[in-house]
Structure 1
Amino acid sequence: MAIVVNGVSCETDENGYLVNLEDWTEDVAKVLAEGEEIEMTEAHWDLVKFLRGYYDEYQIAPAVKVLTKAIAAEKDMDKKNASEFLYGLFPKGPGLQACKIAGLPKPTGCV
């Protein structure tokens, strides 16, 4: 499977995740977000940038628990509110949807 962005074909796996992380651009992210029925806001982009930075540092996508803890600390909220915030942005699951849009592999432990 593949998506075409600005005339460039980007290969995706059977779940719609990019096969080659190097194919990711913000335009690719917008197309992936459309496929997930998500309209990207500044909060979405902030999370995508966080995920990409985390992946660059650790070579793995963070588990939702780690993501929730990081957002709670960054936004000065408790974990419950941070979780609600993340699911508000990515209703089908912040790990699955946000990582897909960020061009990262499907997180381990996500169904």
Structure 2
Amino acid sequence: MEKTIAGKSVAVNEEGYMTDLSQWSPEIANELAKESNLELSPRHFEVLEYLQTQYKNEVPLTIRRVGASGVVDIKEFYALFPAGPLKISSKIAGIPKPASCI
């Protein structure tokens, strides 16, 4: 399916996760963040960049792995992305929902 985000038509699945990372942009990330009532800071983008890199390298993402990454600890991860940090941050990063998320 297609969804218009930040004025661009992007491919998404039924849950609203982008299916083509090449369509991602910081503007799209900001729009997706607004849907979760978040205002993105440079710190958020550091975490999003880490998630995208892990996804490109086919590393399965879990909250524990993100917390051990050295990029962000678990406490800060929850502070940056409350109410399901891995699920929300993955959506904003333009990557599929991790298998570890329900």
* Preserved contact between residue 51 and residue 61 of structure 1 (Cα < 8 Å): no
Counterpart pick for 1:91 among 75, 79, 82: 82
Q: Which residue in the other structure is 1:45 paired with?
A: 45
Please tell me the root mean square deviation across aligned C-alpha atoms, in Å. Answer: 1.8
Which consecutive unaligned segments of at least 5 residues does structure 1 have?
76-81
Instruction: Describe the shift of the 1:61–1:25 C-alpha distance in structure 2 as closer, same or farther (beyond 3 A).
Output: farther
The TM-score with structure 1 as length reference comes to 0.80
With 10-19 and 84-93 compared, the bigger mean Cα shift is at: 10-19
The TM-score with structure 2 as length reference comes to 0.87
* Preserved contact between residue 61 and residue 105 of structure 1 (Cα < 8 Å): no
Which consecutive unaligned segments of at least 5 residues does structure 2 have?
none
Q: Which residue in the other structure is 2:26 paired with?
A: 26
Q: Deviations over 1:24-78 (max 9, x none)?
A: 1111111111111110011101100111111122x245111100111xx346xxx
* Preserved contact between residue 61 and residue 99 of structure 1 (Cα < 8 Å): no
Q: Deviations over 1:72-106 (max 9, x none)?
A: x346xxxxxx2211100000222101111000000
Instruction: Describe the shift of the 1:74–1:96 C-alpha distance in structure 2 as closer, same or farther (beyond 3 A).
Output: closer
| Shift in Å, 1:5 | 3.5
* Preserved contact between residue 61 and residue 104 of structure 1 (Cα < 8 Å): no
Who wins on radius of gyration, i.e. which is larger?
1
Runs of 4+, deviation exceeding 3 Å: none
- Counterpart of 1:65, as a letter, is R
Q: Does the residue aligned with 1:38 lie in a helix, a strand or coil? A: coil
Sequence identity percentage = 28
